[in-house]
Structure 1
Amino acid sequence: MLDEKERLKELRSYQIMDTPPEEELNEMAKIASLICNVPFSLITIIGEDRQFLKVNSELGITETARKDSFCQHALHKPKEVLVVQDSTKDLRFKNNPFVVGGPKFRFYAGAPLETPNGNVLGTLCVIDLKPRRISSNHKKALQILAKKTMDYLNNRKLVLDQNSKIETNISQLRKLTDNVPGGIFQLKMNTNGALSFEFLSSGMNELHPNVDFDQLAKSPELGFSLIHPDDISSFQNNLKESLSNIEPFSLEYRVLVNGEYQWYIANARPEKISDGSVLLYGSIQNINNRIEFGNALEQISFDISHVLRKPVTSLLGLTQLLQDDRVINKEELLEYVGFVKSVSIELDQFTRDLDKIYRAKRKKLKEGKN
């Protein structure tokens, strides 16, 4: 029993209504016309309220109302060829607008286009303007062509489904890569040595805000031109060696961003493909904070070992004097007390100054500034 709701649902999954004619289907319909020796042949798709013609038609139409369609009567018998020898003598069609007017159809034979689920999408049909009979061999030929047509439509659907999944995966991958810190890239080196980015995540916009994204994809050299003069030679040599020897690439270098140089790190792995070109898969990250943090630690180490060491050494020397056995008079004691006070003030001032400096550095690190 025909379940029209399920049939229409499956029809939509084929994404075929209102699509352009396709040469493979045009040829299938033409073969049917030649085999049956009739002037017209169609591949029809039956929607909810209209019939769509999927092939180029000499009738000069692309669709009809479903209620006027001959093919809709084939929906209920997917295994049989619907044959109308003379439409003027068939109660179903004698008053049809395509019979009493227009092209005046008389003969019709349509083989259902049956899906693997048993639903009929439409027909492969042949039409004549005069009554005629059709042989069993011709019926069989129409059924074979209808099956071949469905094979094509099923393969077409499979490709569309696969493309949809690929697009979904690409979209999901894009969302993932766009949310990864830094930028992700795929760099291609052709056999002639020309470079181009096959893929760039949106993070590259943040890493290179002053470079046109589309231009960067076509010309990686735009990004290279922003590398610090002291680092460019090392960058180019390491990149060349990686691509030539198919070895991992890893380098820290400086890049000009908004008028100031910032530290970046690039990590990538190359892969040679069948056509001889090389693909480099990698990522780039801004490590300026890390470098600044390292510099801050070095400064702290220097300050502790040099700046703070002076007053501490003075206090240790005074302590040594106080540990001597000799008697200290009041005048000397006052002198020592004054010295301790002076050293303490100096030490306190150094501590305050360092704290102020480190607070400023920490604030800059948190803000991601140089």
Structure 2
Amino acid sequence: MNESERIKELQSYNLLKGSKEKILDELVEIASLVCNVPISLITLVGKDTQNFLVHRGLSITQTSRKDSFCRHTLHQPEEILIVPDSLKDERFKNNVLVKGDPHIRFYAGAPLETPNGNVLGTLCVIDTKPKKISENQKKALKILAKKAMDHLNDQKMIHLQKQQIESHSDNLLKLTDEIPGMIYQCKMTEEGEMSFHFISKGLELLSPEITREQVYKDPHLIFTLIHEEDLPRVQKKIQKSFENLRLWEHEFRIINKENTIEWRKVKAIPQKQNDNSVIWYGFIQDYTKEKAYQNKMEKLAFDISHVLRKPVATLLSLTSILENHTMDAQEINEYNGYIKQVSEELDAFTKELYRTYADGRDTPKSVPDEKVTIY
């Protein structure tokens, strides 16, 4: 046995945190009843001390390791240590726990063996008078010790899984907080009650004055940030998504702390739960620049269909006149001036189109200075 490895494994179980577990209490109570003794314990043998994880019939919770009966089981994980009469056993007759309180005379301890073969301690029974136990009682102690160890192994696994989940959760939270937007998980019941299970740091996009803790406590604070003219449409979209379980996608305005209007875009996937509530897994992003670009493009689309109509019609008319009439040099120069003027209007308009496109695409905004040459 490697003692340092045993101590390291004992510490990995994260025991002695002050939590008293009913199942372990019941196991030592059964041990006392089976063996008809007043004292039963689950012990953990540490580097210098022996600690009682569970104790029945004994008020103390710790002894020194050198006085421990249980330490003698550490090298014999398969065997129950039986001491019928401690005063007749050279190993224990001068032990302080024999000569003094609690005056141990009988001891029987079944080792708590880990899957790695290390012994953490024992499930043991104690009496203040000499005693013998039957083979069936010994077998019962072994079974109870195994049950106790199974429970400790299960708790260790749960503890490790919880640590892993918390670690993954912390990492995920750090990642989501770096995303330029608000990630959230929101639930709504059939009665319309809402609650947020997760909100990323991106909540600042809606309002830097409201914290996540405040929204967790009062989910309807979110709605106070939405422009009053857009709020009814947002609420209607939420209800519609609740009913048809389709992707919720919507644009809305907010008023920032400078009292200016900004745009936000929300996209959320609904998922119905067994209790008929719906959970949305969603994302809110700043949509102000995109909205401004969209508005510009809509205006340009209008201008293309209306503003351009006049110079194009003028050019067509001028070219028709040139094709169908014989003109002297003065008339040709006059019509050439008209064509040049219209061409310059078209050139200015196309440059404006380019600037608008460049603004939306984040590309260099320099515009070529070439002019349309009329031959």
Is the TM value for this pair above 0.5? yes
The structure-2 alpha-carbon separation of the partners of 1:65 and 1:201, relative to structure 1 and needing over 3 Å to count, comes to same
Query: Is 1:294 aligned with 2:281?
Result: no
Contact 1:239 1:249 in 2 (8 A): no
Q: Give the whole-Å Cα distance in 1 for the aligned partners of 2:198 and 2:354.
A: 46
Q: Give the whole-Å Cα distance in 1 for the aligned partners of 2:269 and 2:196.
A: 13
Deviation at 1:338, TM superposition (A): 4.5
Query: Aligned with 2:78: secondary structure?
Result: coil
Deviation at 1:349, TM superposition (A): 4.8
Deviation at 1:299, TM superposition (A): 2.6
Deviation at 1:123, TM superposition (A): 0.5
The structure-2 alpha-carbon separation of the partners of 1:152 and 1:359, relative to structure 1 and needing over 3 Å to count, comes to closer
Query: Is 1:27 aligned with 2:26?
Result: yes
C-alpha offsets along residues 57-97 of structure 1, whole Å, 9 cap, x if unaligned? Answer: 65443323322211010112222221223334433234433
Query: Is 1:63 aligned with 2:62?
Result: yes
Q: Equivalent residue for 2:368?
A: none
Q: RMSD across aligned C-alpha pairs, in angstroms? A: 3.4
Q: Give the whole-Å Cα distance in 2 for the aligned partners of 1:27 and 1:157.
A: 19
The structure-2 alpha-carbon separation of the partners of 1:127 and 1:35, relative to structure 1 and needing over 3 Å to count, comes to same
List alignment gaps of at least 5 residues for structure 2.
366-375
Contact 1:195 1:220 in 2 (8 A): yes
Matches within 5 A, 1:327-342: 327-329=327-329, 331-336=330-335, 338-340=337-339, 342=341
Deviation at 1:53, TM superposition (A): 1.0
Q: Equivalent residue for 1:199?
A: 198
Q: Give the whole-Å Cα distance in 2 for the aligned partners of 1:229 and 1:277.
A: 30
Query: Aligned with 2:195: secondary structure?
Result: strand
C-alpha offsets along residues 188-220 of structure 1, whole Å, 9 cap, x if unaligned? Answer: 233543221233344344344443322323433
Q: Give the whole-Å Cα distance in 2 for the aligned partners of 1:101 and 1:71.
A: 18
Q: Which amino acid aligns with 1:140?
A: K
Aligned length: 360
Q: Give the whole-Å Cα distance in 2 for the aligned partners of 1:263 and 1:357.
A: 21
Q: Give the whole-Å Cα distance in 1 for the aligned partners of 2:253 and 2:298.
A: 23
Query: Aligned with 2:54: secondary structure?
Result: coil
Q: Which amino acid aligns with 2:121?
A: G
Q: Give the whole-Å Cα distance in 2 for the aligned partners of 1:324 and 1:108.
A: 126
Q: Give the whole-Å Cα distance in 2 for the aligned partners of 1:307 and 1:38.
A: 103
Q: Which amino acid aligns with 1:292?
A: A
Q: Equivalent residue for 2:245?
A: 247
List alignment gaps of at least 5 residues for structure 1.
none
Q: Equivalent residue for 2:271?
A: 270
Matches within 5 A, 1:116-195: 116-171=115-170, 173-174=172-173, 177-178=176-177, 182-195=181-194
- % identical equivalent positions: 46
The structure-2 alpha-carbon separation of the partners of 1:257 and 1:57, relative to structure 1 and needing over 3 Å to count, comes to farther
Q: Give the whole-Å Cα distance in 1 for the aligned partners of 2:140 and 2:354.
A: 93
